Amino acid sequence: MVKEYLGRYWLIFFVAAVYLFLYIPIAVLITFSFNSFLYPFQWVSFSTKWYWELWHSSEIWEVTQNSIIVAVSAVILSLLLGLSFVFYSARSRLRFVAPFFYANLAIPEIVLAVGLLSFFNFFSVPLGFTTLIAGHTIIGLGYSIPILQSSFAEIDYSIIESSLDLGATIHQTFFLIIIPMMAPAIIACSLLVFTLSLDDFIIAFFCTGETAQTLSLYILSTIRTGITPTINALSSCMLLLSSLLVVIFCSFGSRVRVL
């Protein structure tokens, strides 16, 4: 009886087991962020004091601010560069250049990171925010150009033609017709690039000097020096933020071809 049950539903059990596997570490992380004891591996009692510390840590706020500034800049740049490229290369031979942007993602990120490091060192560019944003934009372009291009290609060209036919200039057509039609793709892109930038570790590791600290680097230094549950609290908050972004992505952008 059990065997028959197993035979029919094995796939569901399997899926459940994998999801459990995916979430046990996360569940542990969140649970222990409410641990009252300093040493994070033993549960003592429930307490929200680490969240309190998190809230009051100016260092963490500064670091978060940095990360968000970098992320938003990367998003804006990726979108601007991506949209202008996609739109203006649409009907010319330049659109065949687009696949080359895949290379940004085809090589391991560490190669890009050390490449940028050497490049900046050679031209004596001080490492800091700008270098970080430059690197993140490259990765952003690797995602945004394919996504935006396929979204643009899906637009029936006769819609653009009918807009022109009805008297709109090309610019009006662009802002009134094309951008709204590409909205899901644009939103999906923004969320994707934002998340990538926020979560990125490798480029930050190699390309920021002493001046700039991002969230990833902050977590890194804390792990190295001494673990406190504040990190758990920070991680839980970041998880919450990610959840929010995923929800937005799933409702708007999931219709877009990302992969």
Partner 1 sequence: MNIFKQCKQYFFEDLPFFFSMPAIVWEVIFFCIPIICIVGISFIKNWDVSAFSGITLFHYIKLFQPIYLKIIVRSFLLAIWTSFLCLMFGYPLAYYLACKASQSIRNILLFFLILPLWTNFLTLIYAWYFVLEKHGLINDILLSLGLISAPLVMLHSLFAISIVTFYCYLPFMILPIYVILEKLDRTLVDASQDLGANMRQTFLRIIFPLSIPGVLTGFLLVFVPAFGEFAIPLFIGGDKYMFTGSLIEHYFLIARNSSMGAAVTSLSCLLVLVVTLFLRWSIKKKFSYIEGRK
Within residues 189-228, the interface with partner 1 by CB under 8 A covers: 195, 198-202, 205-206, 215-216, 219-220, 223, 227
Check residue 233 for interaction with partner 1 (CB under 8 A): no
Check residue 42 for interaction with partner 1 (CB under 8 A): yes
Tell which one of 60, 75, 145, 186 touches partner 1 (CB under 8 A): 145
Coarse DSSP helix, strand, coil percentages of the chain, rounded to the nearest 5 percent: 80, 0, 20
Check residue 135 for interaction with partner 1 (CB under 8 A): yes
Residue keyed to tokens 């060209």:
157
Of 83-112, which residues contact partner 1 (CB under 8 A)? 84-85, 87-92, 94, 97, 100-104, 106-112
Check residue 164 for interaction with partner 1 (CB under 8 A): yes
**By C-beta, is 56 or 167 nearer to partner 1?**
167
Q: How far is the CB of 58 from partner 1 (least distance, A)?
A: 21
Could you give the C-alpha distances from 104 to 107, 124, 139, 203, 236, in angstroms and in order?
Answer: 6, 24, 6, 13, 31
Could you give the C-alpha distances from 6 to 2, 11, 12, 16, 254, in angstroms and in order?
Answer: 6, 9, 9, 13, 33
Could you give the C-alpha distances from 188 to 20, 26, 40, 152, 248, in angstroms and in order?
Answer: 27, 25, 37, 14, 9
Q: How far is the CB of 23 from partner 1 (least distance, A)?
A: 7
Of 45-74, which residues contact partner 1 (CB under 8 A)? none
Tell which one of 8, 25, 96, 158 touches partner 1 (CB under 8 A): 25
Beta bridge partners of 35: 46
Beta bridge partners of 46: 35
Query: By C-alpha distance, which of 241, 250, 201, 191 is closest to 221?
Result: 201
Q: How far is the CB of 218 from partner 1 (least distance, A)?
A: 9
Tell which one of 6, 38, 44, 246 touches partner 1 (CB under 8 A): 246
